[in-house]
């Protein structure tokens, strides 16, 4: 493993551990729960997310594609074996015993501490896409399959300015599908068949209720 990549992995692990503190406190919000309700109603088949926090799964969604990876697991760079972040956290707690955080962060930055697989000794890398890495091909392929097979695509909280999100409108239009965009600002309004403006946590529950009433009528 090259020095630059090694340092990036070490720093990523350090950042991941601090990020985990925030993620453990985070809870699915009304938007996550609304999407799960749509799934239960048979109106939503796949969630494609750029987030790495697993909040969609915690809300109950079953078919979630994480195109930027997930903080929930890490992979041994020697063997390819996967572990949960709980294993890295266990090592982190043991390593920081009796040490101030500033000292341990310095150890991470200088390669003196790095989480390793307990069996192989290989460095554990969080399963997230780092800067300069390609997005996972499998996740992208499944995403495009889902978009191309869906008559309606609901895009929430993205400006559709960068890849791969900016490819969605073209794919939907190519197959004569309907594109619904929900954003706080006007991002995506020009390409949407239906544009909804507002906060996802406020608009999506109202959308769920409208769908429910339509199904009952």
Catalytic residue numbers, as ranges: 68
How far is 184 from 198, CA to CA, in rounded Å?
A: 5
How far is 21 from 132, CA to CA, in rounded Å?
A: 26
Residue 179 and residue 169 in contact, taking contact as beta carbons nearer than 8 Å: yes
**Each residue of 149-160: b (16+ CB within 10 Å) or e?**
ebeebbbbbbeb
Instruction: State both tokens at 125.
Output: 């890398």
Q: Which residues contact 36 (CB under 8 A, 6 or more apart)?
A: 28, 56, 59, 60, 61
Phi first, then psi, for residue 71 (nearest 5°) are: -85, -5
| Closest residue by Cα to residue 12 from 105, 96, 80 | 105
Segments of 147-213 assigned E as strands? 152-156, 178-183, 194-197
180 three-state secondary structure: strand
């Amino acid at each position: 493993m090259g020095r630059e990549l090694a340092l990036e992995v070490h720093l990523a692990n350090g950042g991941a551990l601090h990020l985990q503190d925030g993620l453990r406190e985070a809870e699915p919000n009304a938007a996550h729960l609304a999407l799960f309700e749509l799934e239960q109603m048979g109106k939503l088949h796949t969630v494609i997310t750029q987030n790495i926090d697993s909040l969609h799964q915690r809300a109950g969604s079953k078919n979630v594609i994480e195109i930027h990876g997930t903080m929930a697991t890490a992979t041994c760079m020697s063997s390819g074996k996967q572990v949960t972040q709980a294993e890295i956290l266990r090592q982190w707690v043991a390593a920081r015993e009796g040490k101030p955080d500033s000292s341990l962060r310095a150890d991470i930055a200088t390669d003196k501490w790095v989480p390793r697989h307990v069996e192989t000794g290989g460095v554990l890398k969080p399963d997230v896409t780092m800067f300069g890495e390609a997005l996972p091909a499998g996740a992208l392929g499944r995403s495009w399959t889902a978009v191309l097979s869906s008559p309606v695509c609901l895009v929430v909280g993205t400006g559709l300015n960068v890849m791969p999100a900016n490819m969605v409108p073209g794919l939907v239009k190519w197959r004569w599908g309907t594109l619904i965009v929900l954003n706080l600002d006007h991002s995506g309004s020009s390409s949407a068949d239906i544009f909804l403006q507002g906060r996802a946590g406020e608009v999506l529950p109202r959308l769920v209720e409208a769908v429910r009433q339509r199904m009952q009528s």
